[in-house]
Amino acid sequence: EAQVTQNPRYLITVTGKKLTVTCSQNMNHEYMSWYRQDPGLGLRQIYYSMNVEVTDKGDVPEGYKVSRKEKRNFPLILESPSPNQTSLYFCASSLIGQGRGRTEAFFGQGTRLTVV
Amino acid sequence: EDKVVQSPLSLVVHEGDTVTLNCSYEVTNFRSLLWYKQEKKAPTFLFMLTSSGIEKKSGRLSSILDKKELFSILNITATQTGDSAIYLCAPQTGGFKTIFGAGTRLFVKA
């Protein structure tokens, strides 16, 4: 089954304690991305990656790091979480490029993070 | 600055009605525009549009893009209660950055 898997689904942590949210996809997609969703602000892109070892900042990258060492995995790292990073986080993956006769995009089920 | 405006913000209709959701955008070096449906949690992909004037259809849903006027519409015909959701429009730039609109919240009454 095609899917994007995020872990953990729920996390409560304390300010300053480093954490990693994992994201894995099984569709061999080139493109992967992280978003945060906050009430009144909608979905905002944190980082994205067009392929292995290629990452770029989205609109709200401050306080986050990512890596893309393998095509299937795209972890989100919060080196020193703060309460303003309390949010619902989504990982997504999709095919890049047109003319392939197929377009698809999938989101993970989300990670609700609370930083106290 | 990249900008996406969806309208209306919310909409209440009766089952069987047809609705049109709007998305206007201004993004750097536009590449494509994606539509998503978000119910309880994660958005689900509906359409990806890259060329003007070519309608994409999936069942009762259809969408079209106008790259000259910088907008897209999503149509839903014969609405059902299961169509109740937030519909999100997301243009992508040439560099593959994605910007989401605030969404249109649709409620379909039985």
| Ranges of chain A with pLDDT below 70 | 96-103
Q: Is B107 helix (H, G, I), strand (E, B) or coil?
A: strand
pLDDT score for A99: 45
- Tell whether the model's pLDDT for residue B10 goes beyond 70: yes
- Select from A31, A59, A104 the Cβ nearest to the Cβ of B96: A31
A38 in contact with B at a CB cutoff of 8 Å? no
CA distances from B60 to A96, B83, B85, B88 (A): 26, 10, 15, 17
For the segment B42-67, the average pLDDT, to the nearest whole number, is 94
pLDDT score for A101: 46
B88-98 tens-digit pLDDT: 999 998 888 89
Task: Encode A74-93: b = buried (16+ Cβ within 10 Å), e = exposed.
Answer: bbbebeebeeebbbbbbbbb
Residues A90 and A46: their CA atoms lie apart, in Å, by: 10
pLDDT score for A102: 54
pLDDT score for A97: 56
Confidence category of residue B62, pLDDT binned at 50, 70, 90: very high
Tell me if A83 sits within 8 A of A115, measured CB to CB.
yes
pLDDT score for A103: 65
B99 in contact with A at a CB cutoff of 8 Å? yes
Q: Which of residues 34-53 of B touch A (CB under 8 A)?
A: 34, 36, 41-45, 48, 50
- Select from B32, B45, B102 the Cβ nearest to the Cβ of A106: B45
Distance of CA B79 to the CA centre of its chain: 15
Query: Chain B closest CA to A57's CA: distance in Å?
Result: 8
Query: Chain B closest CA to A16's CA: distance in Å?
Result: 28
- Select from B88, B90, B97 the Cβ nearest to the Cβ of A48: B97
Q: What is the mean pLDDT of chain B?
A: 94
B13-35 tens-digit pLDDT: 999 999 999 999 999 899 899 99
pLDDT score for A95: 80
**DSSP annotation string for B38-69:** ESSSSEEEEEEE-STT--EEETTEEEEEETTT
